[in-house]
Amino acid sequence: MPTQEAVRNEVLARFDGIADGLATDVGAAESAGRPPDSTVELLRSARMLWLKVPAELGGFEAEPALQIEVFERLALANPSAAWCTFIYADTAGMATSRLGDDGLARYLDGDDGAPTAGGGGLWPGRLRRVDGGYRLTGRFRYGSGIAAAKWVHLAGVLGDEDGGRMTMRQCLVRKNDLQLDDNWDVLGMRGIGSMDFAAEDVFVPAELTYEAQCAPLRGGRQYRTGVAGYLGYTIPAVAAGATRRALDEVVAGAAGSVRGYRSPEPLADNPAFHRFVGEADQKLKAATALMMANGEPLMEAVDRQGGTADAQEVEVRAAAALATNLALEAITGLVPLAGGSGVRTGSLVEQALRDIGVMTTHYVVAGSAIEYYGRTLLGLPADPLG
């Protein structure tokens, strides 16, 4: 198995080959409300969707440090593409590490990693057992990246058919079997196409399901974390990259951007701007460093005990929430300094302010994440997904 350093070098080289193309597609995604086909093809050609697929299947099996670096760079080029990529990579990793061999063959089916959306957030559908599998019914919100996906990874609850025991199963459903509601009309993250959808008595073959929280069949230690440990490193990385993208643009144009009426001066000569840039740069570096420092202990805990404890999962979420909020603070402070050009629709500042504001609503980085971490410091019980 290649070392993480060798994997890092390959992944970053692949990203470098598509960065310019991704940047070119930003406007098209914003206008269409979904990633254009050209973006999806770039991501597939560079195998970005295989970032979290087990190495034994030809994936990169990226651990937290590499995830952070890749998603931050992706967001520097194209924030909506970065968001969709983390959804596609996370769901592909979950599916390929846990589906049985028959289900895995059907899921991959020669597509070399077709995009798979996340579906429904924390609200599962209802499953009914039938010959050969299950029937799924439910309404789901925020099918992240679903507009450009082929598959949707979602949850269903099986009722009391198993002797009164309620069980949750993860399901891989073809998007074409679902009813999509074209309602992605939102403040920010407009280019990700995360619309609501419904399943009406959809047949799901048994081999395309697995019991929630079952042990992985393939892959290493990152697949043995909890939900927060598996998902927690991507959102703050996207937020940091999107903020850095806007900050870099304002800094690059500061010498030619004049402020003031009675005594106009270039923004680059403004001491308040100097202070802000210094603080913003440090906040973004601190956010990335916090997540980097948080990832290795999580992996070490999996090595020691075969999985992570609630307290460790709670800390992952708290770090992710704080890191995302640091990015939001930085972009919010940039708005008045960027001036009139920064608040125009379509500017990088305007887009980042909208996008990162919406990112902070994701349950992984919600404010309760830090609240629950505080509970653990007081010796009180805390739910990692509370």
Which of 82, 108, 134 corresponds to the end of one domain? Answer: 108
Query: Looking at residue 214, what DSSP letter applies?
Result: P
What φ, ψ does residue 291 adopt, rounded to 5°?
-70, -40
* 219 within domain boundaries: no
192, 234: one domain: no
* 383 within domain boundaries: no
Which of 76, 108, 140 corresponds to the end of one domain? Answer: 108
242, 344: one domain: yes
Tokens for 300, please give them. 């070490």
Strand partners for 170: 155, 210
Q: Say if residues 206 and 375 touch (Cβ distance below 8 Å).
A: no
What is the number of alpha carbons within 13 Å of residue 235 lying toward its C-beta?
31
* 324 within domain boundaries: yes
Domain hosting 46: range is 4-108
Cβ atoms within 10 A of the Cβ of 235, count? 25
Which of 211, 245, 278 corresponds to the end of one domain? Answer: 211
* 123 within domain boundaries: yes
* 9 within domain boundaries: yes
163, 89: one domain: no
308, 357: one domain: yes
Report the distance separating Cα 50 and Cα 184, nearest Å: 26
pLDDT of residue 243: 98
Tens digits of pLDDT across the chain (386 residues):
778 889 999 999 999 999 999 999 999 999 999 999 999 999 999 999 999 999 999 999 999 999 999 999 999 999 999 999 999 999 999 999 999 999 999 999 876 667 899 876 668 999 999 999 999 999 999 898 999 999 999 999 998 665 667 899 999 999 999 999 999 999 999 999 999 999 999 999 999 999 998 999 999 999 999 999 999 999 999 999 999 999 999 999 999 998 887 888 999 999 999 999 999 999 999 999 999 999 999 999 999 998 888 889 999 999 999 999 999 999 999 999 998 888 888 899 999 999 999 999 999 999 899 999 999 999 998 888 87
253, 352: one domain: yes
* 10 within domain boundaries: yes
Q: Say if residues 105 and 138 touch (Cβ distance below 8 Å).
A: no
Say whether 10 sits in a helix, a strand or coil. Answer: helix
pLDDT of residue 163: 60
Q: Say if residues 333 and 352 touch (Cβ distance below 8 Å).
A: no
Angle among Cα 120, 71, 242 to the nearest 5 degrees reads: 90
35, 159: one domain: no
Report the distance separating Cα 117 and Cα 266, nearest Å: 46
235, 346: one domain: yes
Total of domains in the chain: 3
Q: Where are the alpha helices (DSSP H) in the chain?
A: 4-16, 19-24, 26-32, 37-45, 64-77, 79-98, 101-108, 227-231, 234-252, 271-305, 310-338, 348-359, 368-377
Residue 33's alpha-carbon distances to 117, 141, 176, 180, 365, in angstroms, are: 15, 16, 19, 14, 23
Report the distance separating Cα 365 and Cα 232, nearest Å: 8
With tokens 């995009």, the residue in question is 115
28, 134: one domain: no
Report the distance separating Cα 11 and Cα 50, nearest Å: 10
With tokens 């599998």, the residue in question is 133
294, 361: one domain: yes
Residue 234's alpha-carbon distances to 51, 53, 129, 228, 319, in angstroms, are: 12, 15, 35, 11, 12
146, 163: one domain: yes
250, 164: one domain: no
We report the CATH number of the domain holding residue 169 as 2.40.110.10
We report the CATH number of the domain holding residue 95 as 1.10.540.10
152, 50: one domain: no
Tokens for 215, please give them. 């042990």
* 217 within domain boundaries: no
| CB-count burial class (<10 Å; 0-12, 13-18, 19+) for 338 | buried
pLDDT of residue 2: 79
Q: Say if residues 330 and 323 touch (Cβ distance below 8 Å).
A: no
Question: Under 8 Å CB-to-CB from 54, ≥6 apart: which residues?
Answer: 61, 93, 96, 97, 216, 218, 219, 220, 223
What is the number of alpha carbons within 13 Å of residue 96 lying toward its C-beta?
28
* 216 within domain boundaries: no
| CB-count burial class (<10 Å; 0-12, 13-18, 19+) for 18 | buried
We report the CATH number of the domain holding residue 299 as 1.20.140.10
